[in-house]
Amino acid sequence: MGLIGSDTRSVYFDNLEIPASNILGNPDKGFKNFLSTLTGGRITISALALGISQAAYKIALNYSHERKAFGKKINKFQSISFKLADMATQIEATKHLVYHAAWLKDNNHSIIKEAAIAKLFSSENAMKITTDAIQILGGYGYIREYNVERFFRDAKILEIGEGTSEIQRIIIAREILKSI
C-alpha cells in the first residue's frame, strides 16, 4: 500500500550453516542486540514520519494560499487555518521528540522510553497531518498529482513498523512504571 520504493519481503534460510569466523557479535547476545537495533530503528521511523509530515504540510500550506473559494483564499477560512496551525504545532513537537531521542542515542544514554515516545507521537501525527492535508486539498488530495495521497499511504506503515502504536504504549508504560 505504501513505501512502494522499499522492496520489503520475507527471507527464508533452510539448513543454513554459518562458519564461526563469519558470526558477528556474541551469539548469546543476539536477541539483546536485535532489541537494541529495533529501539534505534524507532528513531529512524520517527524521522521518516517527521519528513512525511513536513512534506504534506508544505503542500497543504501552499495549496491553501493558492486555492480560492467564495472569493478568498481558503487559508482565510478558520477551519483551514486551524488545521494548518495544528499541523505546524504537531510538526514542531515531533521535531523536539525526534531530535531529543537522537541526541540521547548519540550520547550513549538509554533511549528505550524516548525512542518509543518519539515513534508513537510522530507516526500517529504523520497519519493525522497527511489526513488533514488531503482534507485541505479536497479532491486534489486524493489524486497523485499533489503527492499527499502517497504521503498518507506511506504514513500508515510508520504506525506498524518497528513496533505498532500499541507496542509503543506497552513499552512506554513499562518504562515509566519502573521509575515509581
At 35 the pLDDT is: 76
At 34 the pLDDT is: 77
C-alpha–C-alpha distance, residues 28 and 16, integer Å: 18
11-27: b or e for each residue (b if 16 or more CB lie within 10 Å)?
eeeeeeeeeeeeeeeee
Residues with a known catalytic role: 162
Tell whether 77 is covered by a domain. Answer: yes
Q: Is it the case that residue 2 has pLDDT exceeding 80?
A: no
At 23 the pLDDT is: 84
Tell whether 19 is covered by a domain. Answer: no
User: For 150, phi and psi rounded to 5 degrees?
Assistant: -70, -45
Rg (CA), the chain: 20
C-alpha–C-alpha distance, residues 86 and 80, integer Å: 10
Q: Is it the case that residue 5 has pLDDT exceeding 90?
A: no
Nine-digit cell at 17? Answer: 550453516
Tell whether 94 is covered by a domain. Answer: yes
Q: Which CATH number covers residue 55?
A: 1.20.140.10
At 104 the pLDDT is: 98
Tell whether 20 is covered by a domain. Answer: no
> Could you list the residue range(s) of the whole structural domain that residue 68 is in?
49-178
At 4 the pLDDT is: 64
Tell whether 73 is covered by a domain. Answer: yes
Q: Largest Cα–Cα distance in the chain? A: 73
Please give the share of the chain, as a percent, with pLDDT higher than 70. 96
Q: DSSP assignment, residue 15?
A: S
CA distances, 41 to each of 66, 67, 116, 133, 159 (Å): 38, 39, 10, 27, 13
Mean pLDDT of 11-24: 88
How many structural domains is the chain composed of? 1
Q: Return the C-alpha torsion angle 26, 113, 123, 107, nearest 10.
A: -70
Nine-digit cell at 111? Answer: 533511549
Q: Is it the case that residue 8 has pLDDT exceeding 80?
A: no
Cα angle, residue 150 at apex, residues 147 and 154 outer, rounded to 5°:
140
C-alpha–C-alpha distance, residues 144 and 3, integer Å: 14
pTM of the full structure = 0.88
Tell whether 33 is covered by a domain. Answer: no
Q: Is it the case that residue 33 has pLDDT exceeding 80?
A: no
Tell whether 65 is covered by a domain. Answer: yes
- Classify the phi-psi angles of 8: left when phi > 0, otherwise alpha if psi is within -120 to 50, otherwise beta: beta
pLDDT tens-digit map of 129-156: 999 999 999 999 988 888 999 999 999 9
Q: Is it the case that residue 25 has pLDDT exceeding 90?
A: no
pLDDT tens-digit map of 152-178: 999 999 999 899 999 999 999 999 999
Tell whether 108 is covered by a domain. Answer: yes
Mean pLDDT of 3-28: 82
pLDDT tens-digit map of 84-101: 999 999 999 999 999 999
Ranking 8-22, 39-53, 93-107 by mean pLDDT, the lowest is: 8-22
